[in-house]
Every structure is written in C-alpha cells, then in structure tokens.
Amino acid sequence: MLKAIGQGLKILLVWQICNLLFFASLLLLLGVLWGVAVSRDPSLANVKGESHKVVAGEKRHGKNQGVILELHLDGIIARSPSHDGWMEEEGCYERILGDLARAEKDKDVRAVLLRVNSPGGSVTASDHLFSVLKRFKASTQLPLFAFYEDVAASGGVYASAIADHIMAEPTCITGSIGVMMPRLQLKKLLDKVGVEEDPFLSAPLKDMGSMTREPTAEERRLLQEMVDLLYGRFVDVVLEGRGERITREKILELRSSFFLAEKAAAVGLVDEIGHIEDCYKMIRDKIGDAAMPVVAYEHKHGLMELLELLDARIARPAMTLEKWLPGLLSSGPLYLMPSASWASWSAGRFSGVPLSGIPLSPGLP
C-alpha cells in the first residue's frame, strides 16, 4: 500500500514539473514574440529613458532631461532584401526610419545627429531618407546635424543634405553628386560561346538596356535623359538643403567628382572640418548645454534573430550564381560613388538592388 502511494506521489510530482515547464516555455515564447514585435514595429518600442544607450557623456536620470540622439547611416543605402528564414535583415535604411518614428514621440530628444559613413546607393532609398528627415524636422522643430566619417558620398550626401549643420572628418571622402546607371556589355562574350538572345517583345523598347546587344541611338537618348533628370533632382535637393551656402554653378563645376573634406568646405558642401568630439561639442554649444549626453536607441532582438546573427557569424552564405545574377541582369540608376559599386556587389551588399553593371575603378582588383 505504501509503495503504491509512493509511486503515485512520484507520478504527481513529475506531472507538476511538466506543467511548470510548459508554462515557463509559454512565457518564454510570448517574450520572444514581444521582443520581435518591438524590434520590428517602432510604434511598440519603449521611448522612455531606459531605451537610451549613452554614447558620449554622463547618463541623466529623470524625465525630460534632454539628450542628443545619434543615428547611423552606414554602408550601402538600400531597402534591405528578404532572405531565407523567418526574419528580414534590417539595414541602415529601415533602422533610421524606425529610430525617427521613435524620436517623434520621445520628449527627451533635443537634437538629432546623423553620422554618415556611406558611398551612397539606391536612388529611391536615398530620396526617401531625405524626404523623411525633412518631414521630421518640420514636425518636431528639432535641429538636425550631420557628421561625415570615412566616406559620405553621392546618396550619403543626398540623404543628409537637409541637415542644419554638417561637419566632416579631415580625411573624409565626399562629393560624387551625380547619378550612374552601370551596365555590362556581354555581346562579345556570348558571341564566343555561340549564345544569342532572341526575345519576343510587345514593343521595340521593351528590352531597352539589354546587355546582350548594343543599344540603339534612341535607347541611349532615353537612358541618358533619365540619368540627367535624376541628376537635376540631386542638384535641386542639395540646393534646398544647403541654401545660400552653395550655388548651382559650383555644384555643376564639380562634375560629379569626389574629393576630400577641405574642398567640400571650400565649395560649401560642409560647414566645418573636425572630429566626432568636436561635433559633439559644437552641438552642445548650439543647444546651450555643455553636459548634454549623446545617446542611441537600443535595438531589441528576438531569439530567432539572435540565432540568425550567430549563424551568420559562423558561416557566411556563399555568393552563388542564382543569388547575384537576377540583380546583375536588372537595370537601374544609382546615387553611388563608382569605386564602391564593385566592392558592394562582390560582398553581396546589392542583393535585390538594381545593378546592371560594375564599373571598375583604378586600384580595385
């Protein structure tokens, strides 16, 4: 009898342990789902003081203490592509959009600093960032500053042109105010292997920009017209952002070249030359608070995202033909410094972004 009672108690104990494990797993799952939702939906994010990570200065306690919010525009500017798995990769484009949405509700933010380290990228993504930053300034009436780091060229200049004040590192490469529509010509290569394209078209211009044949005079005219229009938009954006500090004539004289910060300051593309510590001090002086901390928003990740980041560090996926060929065969304009296009494509950074050719620059392998 006692033995049977003992067995029953053991079974009951195991049953209770299983129940506890089940409810603990359920709570963990709900926590993971909430973490993913917060990291993906800026409207669910906590914008109180505890979401601030101090970058420079001392953390202040209490509400409405005042902070300088730092955002990072790093790498190629593009809408991040989806990849295999449950999550999508979040690039600088999505991250800045999310941080600006949080900043609109954050009463602690007194100014925004955009740190740019980008050779540019997609025309549409660069244009959208400029538009969002412009609306953010208008709706919040907060000052916007930009700091150019190693490279701040083409689309990086475009997106940040609306900043009230721009400082650049002395060794920063900037400029490249222009548009490129890269294109490979494969006809001679295909002729050698006996491959010929013979498409059925709804109209003669349907395959305009094809790499398997020489473009006609009309096609060249239409494509160049598109590039010229986008270049004109770029010039207008810089003039809108920089105001009287630069003229249309000076921009056109640059002929889409890139150069160092000293020349950028001389033509009015940047306001000052200095290091990041100088930039922090400049912003604090303009705000009138010498001790205001510089912060960044903390980005929470769910369990699946952390596992994917770990997997990416262990084994980076190989750049296979089926992954890069669709992007290579498509065509589209870019606000991109030419020397960046090959490195970006070869590193797999342009997956899903229109890139139909790779102009090699001197010094690149």
Residues noted as catalytic = 154, 206
Q: Which two tokens stand for residue 83?
A: 């990849």
Measured CA to CA, the distance from residue 61 to residue 190 in angstroms comes to 67
The residue type found at 147 is F
